[in-house]
Structure 1
């Protein structure tokens, strides 16, 4: 199967044979400008990279938000730890007492342990959902501020393209430190 370039070349050759040399030359120049134009533009394109993960982990606003959220949820986390310890202690006591308990008492305590475990799991789930929701609220405002800083840096420094996710990045195009500085650290 012939490539498109080979097909165009054979078309040009047949046109030359018919005497349309000027038309063929114009078509060839046009085709070359179409092929060469992206290469010239790519050389002039200024590209930058920003690590969103690093901004959300290491910037001052991100660290402040993380501390604020941890402070808000500290009491609930302590309550969950206490409840987990209570469950563990009761389970150990049950294991020790089980051989001497009556059948009805053993079933009753197993049910109590199961209820306590269900309550703990439900509270952990609620805690995690509330924590994630709150974290997303805080970090979405940081992302908005970072996006504004990125746009400002791109305009000021003449970037044509800023990429936020990449497999590999050269340090010379990484502007994450500039964005973090614009965010206050």
Structure 2
């Protein structure tokens, strides 16, 4: 029985080798999503759009933070000479301003992250369409994104970036 099992396994392995030899070559490709998001003109345009959209709010937050720091420094310098009630009033006012600042900063970050995700999603959708078009046109069987290892000869990231840039110009 054991002898029969060995022969069966050997025949099975031989069958796999023979079928693999007759199989047509599989075309594989790799795309670096990170490079596409850094180098494609659509990704750069999305980044510029976000910077323009959020730069005013960011500047206001930076200014407000600097103002609060200035007020805190002034309070620290003046505290020894201020009457107790005035010192407490300024501390309370500073605390309220800081809470408002922290809330605005948190809202800003949430809004920025949401918009960044929306813009990145659009870039990724365009890139996926380009990848699919390249795969069909050049008869790729598989195209992988973000692999642990890939052979550089299978890297089609440059083709994808060029195609994305060309489609952005149209």
TM-score normalised according to structure 1 size = 0.80
Structure 2 residue 155 is matched with structure 1 residue 174: yes
SS of 1:168's equivalent in the other structure is coil
Look at both structures and tell me which one has the larger radius of gyration over its CA atoms: 1
Find the counterpart in structure 1 of residue 116 from structure 2: 135
Equivalent-residue separation in structure 1 for 2:129 and 2:4 (angstroms)? 51
Equivalent-residue separation in structure 2 for 1:38 and 1:111 (angstroms)? 80
Offset, 1:170: 2.5
Give unpaired runs (5+ residues) of structure 2.
Answer: none
CA deviation profile, 1:144-182 (whole Å, cap 9, x unmatched)? 110011011111112111111122332211111100111
CA deviation profile, 1:93-136 (whole Å, cap 9, x unmatched)? 01100111122222211111111111111111111111111111
TM-score normalised according to structure 2 size = 0.87
Find the counterpart in structure 1 of residue 53 from structure 2: 72
Equivalent-residue separation in structure 2 for 1:174 and 1:102 (angstroms)? 71
Equivalent-residue separation in structure 1 for 2:23 and 2:100 (angstroms)? 60
Equivalent-residue separation in structure 1 for 2:83 and 2:116 (angstroms)? 49
Offset, 1:29: 3.1
Structure 2 residue 22 is matched with structure 1 residue 33: no
Structure 2 residue 54 is matched with structure 1 residue 107: no
Give unpaired runs (5+ residues) of structure 1.
Answer: 1-7, 15-23
SS of 2:165's equivalent in the other structure is coil
